[in-house]
Amino acid sequence: MHHGEICGRHFASGQPLRVKWSGGIITEVAPAAGTPMDTWLAPTLLDLQINGYGGVDFQRDDHLTEAQLLSAARQMRRDGCGRFLFTLITDEWPKLMARVRQAKAIRDANPELRTALAGWHIEGPFLSPEIGFKGAHNPAVMRDATEADLRELRAVTGGDPVLLTLAPERGGSLEAIRCAVSLGIVVSLGHTNAPADRIREAVTAGARGFTHLGNGIPQQLDRHDNILWRVFDTPGLMPSLIPDTHHVSPILFRHMHRALPPERIYYTTDAMSAAGAPPGRYTIGAIELEVGADQIVRQPGKPNFAGSALKPIDGITRAAQMLGKSWREVWPHFAQRPAELMGLRNEIAIGQPADFCIVTENPDGTLREARIP
């Protein structure tokens, strides 16, 4: 709905509010009386790593259409996520830039997509080819970043928010980080086995995030020194976690929340085309993937995970269950924290998009439904 009015309680303060919107923009936020006790208002979920959704694969289709992109965005909106970063994984750089150009042209011409598609996340090809750390990425096309690459990325994306995931052990990575930051690109480390001193140097150079911590690592790690301990020990990084109970086990998920300050954790689904869709065969680019009833994404015949079929709102529910907290306590990790990393506003305020979530609870206080008007 482009126009409307609703009363509910603010998810964080509990304050009763009346919110009005017109033309998809919030026009009034005021105190309210007689607000339903089980209706809450919360900023939209903001996912910084969406590789595809609802049967649409951003990586594979070099002929992405407006209808496909709208379908993916609307299915994410149905699942509580009003804004996302369009994410592409490792491939030949010209192909990645061509896909961004195509998707940006579609986005810029459509008002609905201009609100939903908040920016771009390029995950690779500047990653570690090391077994266990490369994940589902193709090491054959991985390489070092150049200043020309970064300037092209900024030129293609214009003034849009951009997140770039790279491995800091690659040649010239510190110079690449400094160049990216100077261009207004947010740098996240990931798919990396960099030593602790290199990670600290990357943070000093300007890196601020760490992509899906706990994923993109081998199953067996050195108990004395590994990438998890190094990230825990490095101030200045904000890691993302995939709260699906698979990529990060519940016990590790809880330990991560003890090891890291709350303001240093944000959530992502790392969703691919199977998210919000039935079990079956799907793709990320040229990689064929299989999704079972358990929503775990694997390459056929292999045990390792590859992407995620998690719906954003299910990430809130599962995070709350794993931590033994309420949905209200974990919501900021999937709303305000990612916005802070990217320098975006994500709040219920006059002039902001009317993509906030209307949340209803069950009698026991658990989340029942979240919808965006």
Q: What does 113-139 look like in DSSP terms, one character per residue?
A: HHHHEEEEEEE-SSS--STTTSTTS-G
Angle CA(128)–CA(289)–CA(226) in degrees, nearest 5?
30
User: What Cα–Cα distance (Å) separates residue 61 from each residue in 99, 114, 235, 305?
Assistant: 8, 20, 39, 22
Report the CATH architecture of 44-345: Alpha-Beta Barrel (3.20)
Q: What is the pLDDT of residue 36?
A: 73
Query: Whose CA is closest to 203, among 171, 228, 239?
Result: 239
pLDDT at position 38:
84
The string of DSSP codes covering 240-272 is EE--SSSSS-HHHHHHHHHHS-GGG-EE---B-
Residue 299 to residue 22: CA distance in whole angstroms: 45
Regions of the chain where pLDDT drops below 50: none
The pLDDT score that the predictor gives to residue 1 is 62
Which pLDDT score is estimated for 182? 98
Q: Rounded CA gap, 189 and 168, in Å?
A: 7
CB 113 within 8 A of CB 147: no
SS3 331: helix
pLDDT of residue 287: 66
What's the CA gap between 121 and 117, in Å, rounded?
11
Amino acid at 84: F
Q: Is 340 exposed, middle or buried (0-12, 13-18, 19+ CB in 10 A)?
A: middle
Q: Count CA atoms within 13 Å of residue 278 on its CB side.
A: 1
Amino acid at 202: A
Q: What distance in Å separates the CA atoms of residue 300 and residue 317, rounded to the nearest whole number?
A: 28
| Alpha-carbon radius of gyration of the chain | 20
Distance between CA atoms of residues 16 and 19, nearest Å: 10
pLDDT at 273: 80
Check: CB of residue 38 under 8 Å from CB of residue 50.
no
**pLDDT value for 62:** 76
Q: Which two tokens stand for residue 242?
A: 């995939």
So what's the pLDDT on residue 82?
Answer: 97
- Choose among 52, 135, 165, 190: nearest CA to 305: 135
Q: Say what the pTM is.
A: 0.94
Chain region(s) in the chain for CATH 3.20.20.140: 44-345
Domain ranges in the chain with CATH number 2.30.40.10:
1-43+347-373
1-43+347-373: what fold?
Urease, subunit C; domain 1 (2.30.40)
The reported pLDDT for the residue numbered 275 is 77
